[in-house]
A = this chain, B = another copy of it.
């Protein structure tokens, strides 16, 4: 499978032993896409002139003339690991790959009375606009007014943010009448709701929602979901999500496609590819989580780029 990540075409393959491999998808000879070629016995064959590469991206066969293999006949190979039902690719220097940096999403692997469900959507918006959206769930009261909205209760709640070890947490805790779409009477009972979102570098988020009728802590309802935003290009994002309950997947996809996605693509067009801060946005109390995330990310990116400059200097 070819997948463009960070602007680069990447070939993702599963070997006979079941392992995953990720390598550059462009042949170093004449730049054909390897994903258009044959894949047999853990060997990829370029569809244009038949060079063959192993799962480490190394050319192992040249069908031409005397068959000599040039030293440079290789494509980039990326450290990759499968965990929590997702494929994690390390696009930086291989030596620096560190799987302990993968956030703990083991709740997705846990046995559940419901089945886990997954979804994928491609959105024509920058990945940071996508995480802004999840780090500020007050948008539910407006974007999802008639479904996930709470008649303004989420927006009025003063959310608390916290930063520990590059992990950002934001928490809303409030009494209200519950989700608009779940109200069945004109005067629904008071519901206490607690929402917690944790963000991990570079763009993995977990949303945990708990709610119960006020005074009835024993009848808590819980739902947990992971949201992963992987940049395709500067202006498009692969959006993966995993929910602890398979039955919620279709609803989540529909809501995102028709409401969040439409909004985020409209904003990306209005911003014309510019950086958020260059456009000098006003900042409101509900921006706390999103702003903190952008700050941590900017610091990490700056440090990484300085690291690269030091590498070049040494």
Contact = CB atoms under 8 A, between A and B. Distances in A.
Given A46-B142, A49-B136, A49-B155, A29 B284 contact: yes
A285 interface: yes
A33 interface: yes
Interface residues of A, number: 50
A194 to B, nearest CB: 17
Contact of A65 (B33, B266, B286): B286
B142 A284 contact: no
A143 B63 CA distance: 14
B141 A63 contact: yes
A210 to B, nearest CB: 21
Given A36-B266, A284-B64, A285-B65, A142 B30 contact: no
Contacts of A158: 65-66
A-side binding surface: helix, strand, loop or mixed? loop
A30 B141 contact: no
A49 B285 CA distance: 11
Contact of A282 (B9, B36, B70): B70
Contacts of A45: 142
Contacts of A63: 138, 141, 152, 155-156
Interface string A258-272: 000001001100110
Contacts of A47: 142-143, 263
Nearest to A290: B30
Given A31-B267, A141-B50, A266-B33, A70 B283 contact: yes
A138 B283 contact: no
Interface in A235-283: 263, 266-267, 270-271, 279, 281-283
A48 interface: yes
Contact of A142 (B49, B141, B271): B49
A271 B31 contact: yes
B64 A285 contact: yes
Contacts of A28: 281-282
A30 to B, nearest CB: 6
A132 interface: yes
A189 B73 CA distance: 36
Nearest to A28: B282
B68 A285 contact: yes
Contacts of A152: 50, 63
A139 interface: yes
Nearest to A25: B270
A30 B139 CA distance: 11
Given A136-B49, A138-B49, A31 B155 contact: no
A207 interface: no
A272 to B, nearest CB: 10
B142 A50 contact: yes
16 contacts: A28-B282, A29-B284, A30-B132, A30-B267, A31-B267, A32-B266, A48-B139, A48-B267, A49-B136, A49-B142, A50-B141, A62-B284, A63-B155, A64-B138, A65-B158, A72-B282
